[in-house]
Chains A and B, each alone.
Chain A
Amino acid sequence: MTNGLEQQVRTVVAAIMRLTPDDVGADASAQTVRGWDSLNHLKLVLALEEEFGVTFTEEQIVQMLSVSKITSVVGQLLSAR
């Protein structure tokens, strides 16, 4: 489940950052992914909300700066439904 979710997250990150999914590893983060700036972060958040049908809080948005953190936050929101 987590691996599937993580793969989905990586696909969304790649689409927003204009990369291929292979370019976005499980350890990818704003520190390592070219183009992950504040504006793209915002577009990423919106794309993730649409993809997973969830709504992030401002606190979560500030923290979601890596594939692993995003996967964790999305996983929590999906399980809470």
Chain B
Amino acid sequence: MPCLDGYDPGDFFDELFMATGTPRPAAAELVKRIESLSIEELQRRQQAAQNMLFKLGVTFNVYSDNQGTERIFPFDVIPRFVPYQEWELLERGLKQRIEALNCFIHDIYNDQKILNDKVIPREMIESATGFLEPCMGLQPPQNIWCHITGTDLIKDRDGSWYVLEDNLRCPSGVSYVLENRRVMKSSFPRFFDALDIQPVDDYASQLLDTLLNLAPSNLSDPCVVVLTPGIHNSAYFEHSFLAQQMGAQLVEGRDLVVADGYLQMRTTKGLRRVDVIYRRIDDDFIDPMAFRADSMLGVSGLMEVYRQGRVAIANAPGTGVADDKMIYAYVPQMIRYYLDEEQLLPNVPTYLCEDDKQREYVLAHLDELVVKATDASGGYGMLMGMHATEPERAAFAEKIKAKPRNYIAQPTLSLSRVPTLIDGQFEGCHVDLRPFILNGQDIYVNPGGLTRVALRRGSLVVNSSQGGGSKDTWVVKESSC
């Protein structure tokens, strides 16, 4: 019996099946390939793939007890399938979005036209925790602010894509994209022979180009570094991996110092100038003189060097303002305002609690909405109304009333599903998708992205800390033959 025979896609959008026994036409070839293997064989390859990831050290840290325990992000061998036509739409939508967001960030830290024209309310910007006063008037190289973005996308029950979060600060996960692909290639080489799967491997080269693009053009050999908080950070593997793949130095704040008006690193041959930083620490921490004085991770005086144009920082400080969930709701207006276009890739409908009418609606429908704190991400500070108890909802309602600016609400979405191997059989599991976008001379969207999958039955939570795993994402062109 073919291993996917009895698989039930349920009352959800399934990425591979329209109904039991009926694959989506575009995915038929892939389904046929999977079915040519027995479930035991798939399990064996799954195990081998997990072992390989562990040996490669593709881990995230659970480092609190100092026992040196790293874990792998659970990995499922059944790929997430995206037909190429759909991908083209995503790609255009993402490019449009990044372009508009970049215009927006540049504008609010400079002329503030969009505020003066009252397209976006001024109080909303000024009250956003991600808005950084010290960044006013900054002109980063080529006016690019958000160089690296990892936009979270989801597909709803009706099969249409939505943008859930923009993640313009320091999105992580791209190392899993690259390593998952490496593992899939050795686990299923024949699949790669037969299907036209878009390669993801040039991400590191593209990233390096994006960073080099920021260096002053008169330098023949600019020095690019990756700035990490250090080995205890949960994404340390990724920082070290990207530095290694780009041949860049991996530095910590204590390796850097501002001297003679430049940012320099302490080397065995004395101080050496640094030209471009890919920073993987938050805005607040990059310069204790400009932001949080208690930061041990950043470099004193870095912002002043940056302001003088003597070092480039990716992503630019201040970029996080557009991660505010209330500002997110205005992206369609930004696209219209800066690009004079309509949004290609829609937002999830969002209710602003600051608005009296919308807040009333939210409070009356708490049991069906998801409420999120505007300045948080990664599943923190939110209420899943449907799954919450009455007292929990009541408590949250008080919080909303006390600080309406801090909350937005969205309908509960029904994330699409993909067959996933659990305990020797296939289950439909919910997924999201985080493609990685680089904004350099052109905007580049890595064809694929991190598919996170909720491995607990029925769960919608894809975060690694809460039973989430990952899948390789295959953007597949239909074969011409």
Q: Do A and B come from one complex?
A: no
